[in-house]
Structure 1
Amino acid sequence: PGPSLSTPHPPPRAPSMVSTEDPDTIEGSAWSREGAGAGGMAPPLPSGDAQHVGGRHMILRSEYIRLLEQALAGLGYPALASQLEAESGISMQPQVATDFRDAVLGGDWSSALALLPSLTASEGDASQARFLLTRQKYGECVARGDLAAALATLRCELAPLGVNRRVLHGLAGALVGARGGGGAPRAAPPRDALLAELQHLLPPSLLIPEGRLEELVEQALVAQAEACQYVNAPHPQQTLFADFQAGPEQLPTRCSQALDMHGDEVWALQFSHDGRFLASASKDGCALLWRVAPSGWVTYACHLTRSSSPVNTVAFSPDDAWVLTSGADGRVRLYTLPSGRLAHECSFAASAGGEFAVTAAAWFPDSTRLLAALLDKALYVVDVRGVTQRRLKQTQHVYDCAVSPDGGTLVSVGQDKRLRFHRLADGREASVGEAGAVTCLTPSSDGAFLLANLASAAIHLWPLGDMALPALPGDGEAPGEADPGGQAAGGQGSPDAPRPGDPLDHLAQAPLQEYRVGQAQHGRFVIRSAIGGYRNNFVASGGEEGAVHIWHRESGNLLEILKGHTGTVNAVAWNPVNHYLMASASDDKTIRIWVAPAARSGREDWP
């Protein structure tokens, strides 16, 4: 705990503002030690390239030494840091910054406030810093039960700062709660967190951010990893002694299994969101559920659908409580996990006026509703009990559909070669033209991207993301409530007022990237692609020639072509948890499981 507020440290002398105009004059500035070095003199200021270190002359020697001093002190070698300071004549930071840091971490709020004018010339930054310091002082008073000091701080120090009324009321609420005996008072944030917040407001050349050298090294390691197109792990093994390299061993390129329980062409497959299950759909009228071991080994679990009509879709709910199947018999069936037991069967005959094949189905993010597309030229919003909530008539047959990650916008493709967006909240529609007929859609696991497979053998990557109806100014505000500037809000938003930044007004007019599977024409075949790997860095797709292609998502570079199937590869799925695992489905009646050679490193349980 910091010193008592009743006996504060005497404020230090107020030094003049430290100049930060010319970083090249560091050795001669306020943070060079007087009398340092041999004979009480600082070493002479280097000139020319001697002012820099490194082959590219990008690093100022003085800044580098200051960071080394900070790093040594942070590693527990303060004597070495002091020795470097003495030898170089360069202090880690000016004394005013050191005094300010010590005052913040020691809870000496009056000294910290007195030093602020010497640290920044920006009145806006100084005002924000004064608020943060005073708020911390108030919070610590409340936390230790010194309610009289807290009330005095609130009235005499926080209120005169012109704090937003809502913020001030929120702070007062903590004091009221403590007075009313409503349990233990909430602890104030740690002082090192406050210091980190203050460092964003003050010149970094004066108050060096904590662990700055380590942060720069980590940034370099991250940049090296991100520059490598094969990175497929969240924390790749890296060393400081050599530049990072990774290759095809990071990608699922080795076929570990060929599953052959389907009796006809396999049309679709998908991994559950937790990576523990795989579902497959086939022309043979069956949908199968498979278990996926942590090792990547896949085993048969049970039959889901047994129908006389082909099954074209399998999809796990976002919470992995359900898996749905749909197909030519016009029904959507819901099965519970992990049992695979049939729970509900949705028939659309009454709403559609007859039996129509289900061409596509997708889940809403809440896992309580699903979207189904039928050949009656309509989209249906259905709950998990099979009750149709909405029927949205379309002007064409819908080939595939998806739901935006916020759950408010439907995306569909059909005969008119356009991506169509329909927002449920206000019924607004928008569309984007495509270069050809779109056969299917695949959203990324995080909803940020959408793959559109074209009949021309091209695959287009589109941005998706949230498309929620933007709030109007004043929405959700109580009448007369103060805005952040302290003025009264301008009343409630009108439903007819223009919506700022409507995502449907800013749809991308061209795809982010294009991937092409040779020059073949898919024609009527539906080829389902996948986005996967670490940070969804890769796109994978099958094709009519029986191979699986893997591209780097951002650059579009083709990385690998995997051969093994003897028929058209209709679908690819990438495990969302195990980035080293992928599956492909083919007309050759098999499902092939692909693993990355790097997955075997140090593990005997990998296939």
Structure 2
Amino acid sequence: MRLSERDDESLLSISPSMANDAFAGPSTPSTSANPGTSNGHSNGHTNGASTSGLKEGFSVRKSGKSVTRVSLPGKTLYDDSLVDREEFVRLVIQSLREVGYIESAATLEAESGYEMELPQVSDFRRYILDGLWGEAEDALLQLGVADHDALYEARFLISRQKYLELLEEDDTTAALHVLRTEITPLNIDTETLHFLSSLLMCADTADLRQRVNWDDSPGSSRRRLLSELQRFIPSSIMIPPRRFSTLLTQALTYQRQSCIYHNGPTPLPIPGSGSSLTSSSSAFSLYRDHLCDKNAFPRITTMILEGHTDEVWNLKWSHDGQFLATVSKDQTAIIWKVGPEEDAATRECSQVFVLRDHEYEVGCLAWSIDDKVLLTGADHVITRWNAQTGACMGKLPSAHHETVTALVWLPDGSGFISGALDRKIILWDADGKQRDNWGTTAIRVTDLAVTPDLTRVVAVGMYHVPTVPNPGPHNGADSGTGAAAGTPGVSQRETRMIVYDLATKQPEASIRLEGELTSVSISQDSRYALVNHTPDEIHLWDLNTARLVRKLTGQRQGNHVIRSCFGGVDGNFVASGSEDANVYIWHRDSGALLEVLSGHGRGSVNAVAWNPRNARMFASCSDDATVRIWESEPGGTFSSDIARISEPDSKGKGKTRERWDATGGRAHTSGLTL
């Protein structure tokens, strides 16, 4: 908004002895303004001109130097820009004030002729923060809150704050008066009124604060009130706090989302803003558009782990990212240690333990939250292993009578959940004692996952529709519900994803899907479920809305159990195995297929797991009996050294290095044994 004549006199301190000069002092609200000005604009004047009659070239004095009032043509920042100049300048003034450049903000106001806000706005802010409730209510109309419903809601928020502060001061008589004479006449809903009334019975101040989730009046409750009231006031009159910073953060967020290979440092929240910026100053800069180097994306095999003698079916990283556990058709599980060194050529990697005490092929596994215990599932048997010594801690009492397909440790470490083809989901404590179960579920569970926020269990599997005998034709129609038409006694099969409430074990959603469902994983924010789905699809579901977000295609899956996962910074990517011996990686939000990684031998790539502590490393396992570690290109070149880690020899070694060419093919064998 432009400075009015009286604004100029107040801000620039014009004196009779200065015909055309004034001082630009600290930026403080002017003494008057026109509250009726629409959207902060004066009546069509160009920049720097106002109703004061001050002429072009008018100057102000700053530290002994004059600052000339600038008059520019047009209303936009540049000739080819869509940015309104007045809005831009006012936001700059606000930003300067917020970070402490008070005199610079005042100088910009004087030079541009634009004022950041009306004096009534500053007064209103002071009324709220000082607890002057009557004055605050009166100021609402002056600030453009004209809508009847908005005015009532704003007045309720002010009266509620006043009521709560009186209760906090133990002045129940005055609080009751506010409740009866100020809040009740606003016709708020009965439930809210009853809740506020019940606060009169609070035992003490601590009880009151806990029930309403706030702190005392000198704390942040009044600032939160001011933030709530801001939504009723036109933003052109009362600019939202940190508006320029918010716009810049939105621009950086858009650039990050548009960068499909973004896999940089994890963003950190800006206190009090609800926004986030990266922890690395080099990852995002206002000086240039953000774009990640594709070469920094993990797409090169740096290590091949050889130790299994048959198909490797599943794998999981420890939570600290230093160990990788793999399970195989050869009835063993192997724990590998993967060193922390950044350079794959010098990284130490070795077998730590080979867990052989399995009677059947091993298909699933899970690390405890502290990485001290590893669970394995072989057929219907669940075994607990000491991951630090390799010792068998015992087989769990037989609770499943068909193949255990899923083992998941609870995020709080209190226990774990198992799911099986016998339609059972069982909750165990950390010591392997059965604690609870879901009874007989509706599906033969092929996989399940627990949301990180510990609220839901998501299970996928085959659903058997109950068979109803066909009573025969009736008036020419077949009434065999759940059976093929004209085929008595034949059940109908379908597949489903069922979302259970973890606390109540009751289903929140049961979604019918087509094809076989072989795996499910959950995003770190607990919002999305990733489901491998035949034929040749991966589905991304929003658990909050129970809606399909998108389908990811390209990989091959028709007959085998294939597992996928989220990966990278913030779970930006989806990686999956495939029956064509490749690893596929998509950008989660756009669905773009980024990479098709070859290297494994013939057969399916059965599972992929992203390192939880290294966003630029993941592992894959295959029917070729190997496990591959994938990382970004070392040194920015396409060629790399691949370390093949095999069965330890008598000296506990067994690490050989082989040079591989750009296509992943073997160039020569060094013969070096370390």
TM-score when normalising by structure 2: 0.67
Match of 1:496 in 2: none
Taking a change above 3 Å as real, the CA distance of residues 142 and 35 of structure 1, as seen in their structure-2 partners, is farther
Distance 2:198 2:44 in 1: 44
Task: Within 5 Å, give how 1:531-546 maps onto structure 2.
Answer: 531-546=566-581
Distance 2:32 2:93 in 1: 26
Distance 2:58 2:592 in 1: 61
Give the counterpart of 2:516 among 421, 437, 449: 437
Task: Within 5 Å, give how 1:287-326 maps onto structure 2.
Answer: 287-291=333-337, 295=341, 299-304=350-355, 306-317=357-368, 322-326=373-377
Match of 1:211 in 2: 242
What is the SS of the residue equivalent to 1:59? coil
Q: Deviations over 1:135-168 (max 9, x none)?
A: 556666777xxx47x5565244454221643453
Q: Is the 8 A contact 1:36 1:89 kept in 2?
A: no
Taking a change above 3 Å as real, the CA distance of residues 454 and 599 of structure 1, as seen in their structure-2 partners, is farther
Q: Note if 1:271 corresponds to 2:317.
A: yes
Deviates more, 1:428-437 or 1:583-592: 428-437
Give the counterpart of 1:591 among 620, 627, 630: 627
What is the SS of the residue equivalent to 2:578? coil
- Structure 1 residue 253: Cα displacement: 2.0
Q: Note if 1:154 corresponds to 2:175.
A: yes
Q: Deviations over 1:491-528 (max 9, x none)?
A: xxxxxxxxxxxx7xxx44x56222212xx5x4433222
Match of 2:111 in 1: 87
TM-score when normalising by structure 1: 0.74
Give the counterpart of 2:426 among 369, 375, 381: 381
- Structure 1 residue 281: Cα displacement: 0.8
Give the counterpart of 1:221 among 219, 229, 252: 252
Match of 1:116 in 2: 140
What is the SS of the residue equivalent to 1:216? helix
Q: Deviations over 1:5-46 (max 9, x none)?
A: xxxxxxx999875343685857699x9684666587998997
Match of 1:560 in 2: 595
Q: Is the 8 A contact 1:273 1:318 kept in 2?
A: yes
Q: Is the 8 A contact 2:443 2:461 kept in 1?
A: no
Match of 2:288 in 1: 242
Q: Is the 8 A contact 1:288 1:303 kept in 2?
A: yes
Distance 2:206 2:509 in 1: 53
Give the counterpart of 2:88 among 61, 64, 69: 64
Q: Is the 8 A contact 1:287 1:306 kept in 2?
A: no
What is the SS of the residue equivalent to 2:324? strand
Deviates more, 1:228-237 or 1:60-69: 228-237
Taking a change above 3 Å as real, the CA distance of residues 118 and 276 of structure 1, as seen in their structure-2 partners, is farther
Taking a change above 3 Å as real, the CA distance of residues 324 and 464 of structure 1, as seen in their structure-2 partners, is farther
Task: Within 5 Å, give how 1:417-496 maps onto structure 2.
Answer: 418-421=495-498, 423=500, 425=504, 432-456=511-535, 458-465=536-543
Taking a change above 3 Å as real, the CA distance of residues 80 and 194 of structure 1, as seen in their structure-2 partners, is same
Q: Deviations over 1:452-504 (max 9, x none)?
A: 33453x232231526xxxxxxxxxxxxxxxxxxxxxxxxxxxxxxxxxxxx7x
Q: Is the 8 A contact 1:442 1:450 kept in 2?
A: yes
Match of 2:489 in 1: none
- Structure 1 residue 269: Cα displacement: 0.5
Distance 2:109 2:238 in 1: 17
Q: Is the 8 A contact 1:232 1:251 kept in 2?
A: yes
Match of 1:168 in 2: 196
Distance 1:515 1:239 in 2: 34
Distance 2:352 2:79 in 1: 60
Match of 2:383 in 1: 333
Which amino acid counterpart does residue 512 of structure 1 have in structure 2? Answer: R
- Structure 1 residue 109: Cα displacement: 4.4
Alignment size in residue pairs = 531
- Structure 1 residue 205: Cα displacement: 0.9
Give the counterpart of 1:516 among 551, 554, 573: 554
What is the SS of the residue equivalent to 2:288? coil
Match of 1:470 in 2: none
Match of 2:11 in 1: none
Distance 1:338 1:76 in 2: 55
Which amino acid counterpart does residue 537 of structure 1 have in structure 2? Answer: N
- Structure 1 residue 70: Cα displacement: 1.5
- Structure 1 residue 241: Cα displacement: 1.7
- Structure 1 residue 206: Cα displacement: 0.9
Distance 1:217 1:411 in 2: 41
Which amino acid counterpart does residue 261 of structure 1 have in structure 2? Answer: G
Which amino acid counterpart does residue 225 of structure 1 have in structure 2? Answer: R
Taking a change above 3 Å as real, the CA distance of residues 541 and 33 of structure 1, as seen in their structure-2 partners, is farther
Q: What is the aligned-residue identity percentage?
A: 30
Deviates more, 1:219-228 or 1:566-575: 566-575
Q: CA RMSD in A?
A: 4.2
- Structure 1 residue 378: Cα displacement: 2.9
Distance 1:389 1:81 in 2: 64
Where structure 1 has 5 or more consecutive residues not aligned to the other structure, the ranges are 1-11, 467-502, 601-606
Which amino acid counterpart does residue 215 of structure 1 have in structure 2? Answer: T
Distance 1:448 1:422 in 2: 12
Distance 1:303 1:40 in 2: 85
